[in-house]
Amino acid sequence: MKLAARVGQVTPSITLAIAAKAKAMKAEGIDVCSFSAGEPDFDTPEHIKAAAKKALDEGKTKYGPATGEPKLREAIARKLQKDNNLGFAAENVIVTNGGKHSLYNLMMALLNGGDEVIIPSPYWLSYPEMVILAGGTPIIVPTDASTGYKITPEQLRSSITPRTKLFVLNSPCNPTGVVYTPAEIKALGEVVVEKDILVVSDEIYEKIIYDDAQHLSIGAVSPEVFDRTIISSGFAKAYSMTGWRIGYLAAPVELVKAVSTIQGHSTSNVCTFAQFGAIAALEGSQDCVEQMRLAFAERRQIMLQRLNAIPGLSCAKPDGAFYLFVNISKSGLNSLEFCDKLLENKRVAAIPAIAFGADDHIRLSYATDMTSIEKGMDRLDKFVRSLV
């Protein structure tokens, strides 16, 4: 079959493939410790499920507006005001099938052939692929340990060309767990205004931060930055709602209308009764978010201690999300070889960071139970010692 050329320009998601392989091995009865999934292991909180069940029983089973349930758009606008100090109204918000869909639709609504999108690496693996699918050009700006895996204002400024349309900021970051400080966010915001580009701030991990880390949304820096800011987020990570597929985009009305047109001809509305669960998530008690955050914080501590005790591996303490970004450069293996052998020989699933533009690292998710963490770290320790 002769497929469209665009299919050949992108690579299938490595993270989804490895997570699927680990799940399949588990289904065969193989005792796999999986550190691959980017999803909390907790069930969705009861009150959220109850709200969706109630909506289902009340017959909220029909088509709704492509932009989302009005009550949910309002609840999201209120959340953005309250938590993030962003003055979006409901008409600035569109509900999407997850944060992934928000970003994809954004690229489709914004990019023309040759438009450049600045993406700091290590990056969430779908950003460059989405840009390519939309006909744009990803401009990857490498960062490393010397700047704490953060793009500097100078790097951003010098990467901007007359073709630059958008800068993708992800804090807390997947895969590094890095959280930009408010001062760093402000400095990046100044470049956005100075060079008059747009910024999309992917804030899906905003609630999962540790110790003294603070989340500042770049749109709150000044009215000038706000005018150039698009927020992408969703319910998957903070509320353990990965399978519900609900996210959102907040943006200038013109852009929301454009995304609505695209959505109206592709997916239409997000599952109607699921959106009522999302309303309950935002409007109900936030204790569940805090409980999960505390569990992640404890797991992070244990996993990091265990990891840094393994000779030849190293990892900085992440300030957010639920990943360890582990330097494997002393192993003599590239990230794919490392993860393949680790899964085959020791039945531990990890993600090769070549998927995120950093082949000398792997990503370990600690969104899993403590027993698996202890067992998996024992195995990883043995694996690394067997390499020397």
Question: Which one of 155, 242, 308, 334 is in contact with ligand PLP (CB under 6 A)?
Answer: 242
C-alpha R_g of the chain: 21
Q: Which of 231, 221, 170 is nearest to 193 (CA)?
A: 221
Cβ at position 222, least distance to ligand PLP in Å:
25
Cβ at position 247, least distance to ligand PLP in Å:
4
**Is the bond leading into 352 cis (omega within 30 degrees of zero)?**
no
Cβ at position 275, least distance to ligand PLP in Å:
14
Place of tokens 């990056």: 123
What CA–CA distance (Å, rounded) separates 220 from 86?
A: 6
For position 295 contacting ligand PLP by CB under 6 A, the verdict is no
320 and 210 in contact (C-beta within 8 Å)? yes
CB proximity list for 165: less than 8 A, separation 6 or greater: 110, 111, 115, 116, 117, 136, 197, 198
Tokens found for residue 164: 């630059």
Question: Which one of 40, 45, 68, 99 is in contact with ligand PLP (CB under 6 A)?
Answer: 99
Q: How many residues bind ligand PLP (CB under 6 A)?
A: 13
Task: Closer to ligand PLP by CB, 52 or 333: give it.
Answer: 52
3-state helix vs strand vs coil in the chain, percent to 5: 50, 15, 35
Q: What is the contact mask toward ligand PLP in residues 309 to 348, using x (rule: CB under 6 A)?
A: ----------------------------------------
Q: What is the contact mask toward ligand PLP in residues 147 to 186, using x (rule: CB under 6 A)?
A: -----------------------x---x------------
Q: What is the contact mask toward ligand PLP in residues 195 to 224, using x (rule: CB under 6 A)?
A: -------x-x--------------------
Question: Which one of 120, 138, 219, 247 is in contact with ligand PLP (CB under 6 A)?
Answer: 247
What CA–CA distance (Å, rounded) separates 78 from 289?
A: 18
What CA–CA distance (Å, rounded) separates 264 from 262?
A: 5
- CA 214 from centroid of its chain's CA atoms: 17
Task: Closer to ligand PLP by CB, 55 or 103: give it.
Answer: 103
| Binding span for ligand PLP by CB under 6 A among 96-104, 151-159, 270-278, 312-320 | 96-104
173 and 322 in contact (C-beta within 8 Å)? no
Cβ at position 192, least distance to ligand PLP in Å:
19
CB proximity list for 257: less than 8 A, separation 6 or greater: none
Question: Which one of 73, 79, 100, 361 is in contact with ligand PLP (CB under 6 A)?
Answer: 100
Residue 137 is which amino acid? T
For position 234 contacting ligand PLP by CB under 6 A, the verdict is yes
Question: Which one of 40, 64, 98, 128 is in contact with ligand PLP (CB under 6 A)?
Answer: 98
Q: Which of 217, 224, 190 is nearest to 202 (CA)?
A: 217
Cβ at position 332, least distance to ligand PLP in Å:
29
What CA–CA distance (Å, rounded) separates 355 from 339?
A: 12
What CA–CA distance (Å, rounded) separates 217 from 279?
A: 22
Cβ at position 40, least distance to ligand PLP in Å:
11
Q: What is the contact mask toward ligand PLP in residues 29 to 58, using x (rule: CB under 6 A)?
A: ---------x--------------------
Cβ at position 207, least distance to ligand PLP in Å:
13
Binding site for ligand PLP (CB under 6 A): 38, 98-100, 124, 170, 174, 202, 204, 234, 236, 242, 247
